[in-house]
Amino acid sequence: MKKLINSAETVVTDALAGVAAAHPSLAVDIENKVITRSGGPTVGKVGLVSGGGSGHEPLHGGFVGYGMLDAACPGEVFTSPVPDQMLAATKAVNGGAGVLHVVKNYTGDVLNFQMAAELAEDEGIEVVPVVVNDDVAVQDSLYTAGRRGTGATVFVEKIAGAHAERAAPLSDVAAVAREVNERSRSFGVALTSCTVPAAGKPTFELGDREIELGIGIHGEPGRTRAPLVTAREITSAAMDAIGADMPLTGDLLVMVNGMGGTPLIELYIVYNEVHRYLAGQGARVTRNLVGNYITSLEMQGFSVTVCSLTETLTDLWDAAVDTPALRWGR
């Protein structure tokens, strides 16, 4: 696998240096791996901190900015960050109104954020964690580590970020974040695996005519392997899985997300199929995103995330946002 890197050891720090150079609106602490908004915390505003393994760009660093996150802590590739980073981020964004931790449901992320929250509370900062777990591919969550956090993370960060920007108190920001998570479901499909730079070879092998259904965002194998069929059939399988778990009615926010190695032309083909599928169910897609928002290095494939909107959530979705990866209304 060819990669544009200087060395496997410096992938994350070299990329962070690039983020710092490209986005003066961000303050990047390369050594401690913390990205915050330039200009420090906003007094009286709830701070939003997220973080997770690297390799999912633009998540999370690309969502730091007005109307979304206050800080992001990138870990090593596909490895959760450490409590020290999260504590530093939490302290940096605390404007006196408490801090929300947006945590994707993976054992490592949950454990490290839990430790960071305890450390922050020892220093007198109120922290509320919200765990995102929207992936319907994990069916029997009683017998697993629970549903994974995937695409809904983008929705949670945008909508809770907008609410925080309007000076909502911590408990309300947390409530809206949980509501978005509860109203959202995702399903992912891989056409290829991906290669962790330090490992140097693909995490799993897929044949030329095979796809993996129900993947997460770390190149981990999914639930089932299936033959490659048309975009319509693959999308339909993904939507069936989502529809089995949430009513596909009313106003919906839909994201067709690329996993890093899929061209936009294919994502639009998938989006068209999603749109047709939902129209057939009598639902309306009133808001959408098509593009690479939560990736898995260079994996080919996509995920679909559906959120059942309310008027309030639509309003918060439409609110101004100004981050490297999501920007409108300002």
Partner 1 sequence: MDAGFFRAWVAEIAAVVETQRDHLTQLDSAIGDADHGINLARGFGAVQAALAQASTPTPGSVLMLTGSTLISKVGGASGPLYGTAFRQAGKALGDVPEVDLAALAGALEAALSGVQKLGAAREGDKTMVDALAPAASVLSKAVAEGASLADALAALAEAADAGAQATIPMQALKGRASYLGPRSVGHEDPGAVSTALIMHALRDVAVRQAR
Contact residues toward partner 1 (CB under 8 A) are 53, 75-84, 106-108, 111-112, 115, 137-140, 143-145, 148, 196, 198-199, 203-204, 216, 218-223
Closer to partner 1 by Cβ: residue 108 or 291: 108
Min dist. Cβ of residue 174 to partner 1 (A): 23
Per the annotation, the verdict on 218 as an active-site residue is yes
Closer to partner 1 by Cβ: residue 106 or 277: 106
The C-alpha atoms of residue 31 and residue 259 are separated, in whole angstroms, by 28
Angle value at C-alpha 152, between 192 and 28, nearest 5 degrees: 85
The C-alpha atoms of residue 249 and residue 282 are separated, in whole angstroms, by 6
Min dist. Cβ of residue 16 to partner 1 (A): 15
Name 100's bridge partners.
48, 128
Closer to partner 1 by Cβ: residue 32 or 314: 32
Closer to partner 1 by Cβ: residue 54 or 184: 54
Min dist. Cβ of residue 84 to partner 1 (A): 5
Per the annotation, the verdict on 56 as an active-site residue is yes
Min dist. Cβ of residue 143 to partner 1 (A): 6
Closer to partner 1 by Cβ: residue 5 or 145: 145
Of these residues, 23, 60, 101, 218, which one is catalytic? Answer: 218
Min dist. Cβ of residue 109 to partner 1 (A): 9
Of these residues, 23, 56, 60, 163, which one is catalytic? Answer: 56
Give pairs for 267-276: CB < 8 Å, separation 24+.
Answer: 267/291, 267/302, 269/231, 270/231, 270/234, 270/235, 270/302, 270/304, 273/231, 273/232, 273/235, 273/236, 274/235, 274/239, 274/304
Q: Which residues are catalytic?
A: 56, 218
